[in-house]
């Protein structure tokens, strides 16, 4: 299955989007803002959302036992395992509510809201559980991340 994440806001403190994964109702997403890295098109590790593009989704179990998905696109230097040289790794889709709950990962939620004065996604555990149920926690799924109409995205600097 190919899911689509339409990012509608690339803000200075967060990136927001709508995740489409039929048959689920659209989910909202929250990520860190885009922070370019002059050494890599993947953005600054632990501080930035991943760049727009097509990613393979690899099932992953975190140290706490929670099931997640890891984004992989080697052309964009986003890997499952720590790479030699520059690049990002273990960029996940996992539960969380506010930007401080992530270090370069995507947080899904059933609703948008405000928590302690910060933009948030709500009902994140339910959203993550629903994704795992629909995808079957299996390989072979993809995530296309793209800007929604009118969203501003600044591409990272590459070393090509």
Residue 77's CB: how many other CB atoms inside 10 A? Answer: 23
Is residue 141 in some structural domain? yes
Secondary structure (H, E, C), 19-35: EECCCCCCEEEEECCCC
Is residue 67 in some structural domain? yes
Is residue 13 in some structural domain? yes
Tens digit of each residue's pLDDT (9 = 90 or more) over 72-125: 999 999 999 999 888 999 999 999 999 999 999 999 999 999 999 999 999 999
Tens digit of each residue's pLDDT (9 = 90 or more) over 9-64: 999 999 999 999 999 999 999 999 999 999 889 999 999 999 999 999 999 999 99
Using DSSP's 3-state secondary structure scheme, residue 13 falls into coil
pLDDT value, residue 78? 97
Is residue 154 in some structural domain? no
Q: Could you tell me the pTM of the whole model?
A: 0.92
Is residue 82 in some structural domain? yes
Decide: 26 and 19 in contact? Cβ < 8 Å: yes
CA dihedral 158, 7, 72, 102 (to 10 degrees): 100
Considering its fold, how many domains does the chain have in total? 1
Using DSSP's 3-state secondary structure scheme, residue 82 falls into coil
Domain that holds residue 74: 2-147
Cα atoms in the 13 Å half-sphere on the side-chain side of 145:
25
Is residue 159 in some structural domain? no
Q: What is the mean pLDDT of residues 128-136?
A: 97
Q: Please, what's the b/e burial string for 36-68 (b: 16 or more CB within 10 A of its CB; e: otherwise)? A: bbeebbbbbbeebbbbbbebbbbbbeeeeeeeb
Question: With left for phi above 0 and alpha for psi between -120 and 50, is residue 11 left, alpha or beta?
Answer: beta
């Amino acid at each position: 299955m190919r899911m689509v994440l339409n990012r509608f806001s690339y803000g200075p403190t967060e990136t927001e989007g709508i995740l489409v994964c039929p048959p689920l109702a659209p989910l909202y997403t929250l990520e860190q803002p885009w922070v370019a890295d002059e050494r890599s098109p993947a953005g600054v590790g632990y501080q930035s959302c991943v760049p727009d593009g097509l990613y393979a989704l690899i099932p992953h179990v975190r140290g706490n036992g929670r099931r997640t998905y890891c984004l992989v696109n080697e052309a964009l230097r986003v890997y499952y395992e720590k790479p030699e040289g520059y690049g990002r790794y273990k960029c996940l889709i996992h539960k969380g509510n506010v930007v401080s709950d992530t270090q370069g990962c995507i947080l899904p939620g059933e609703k948008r809201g405000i928590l302690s004065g910060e933009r948030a996604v709500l009902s994140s555990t339910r959203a993550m559980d629903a994704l795992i149920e629909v995808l079957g926690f299996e390989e072979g799924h993809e995530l296309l991340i793209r800007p929604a109409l009118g969203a501003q995205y600044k591409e990272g600097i590459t070393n090509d």
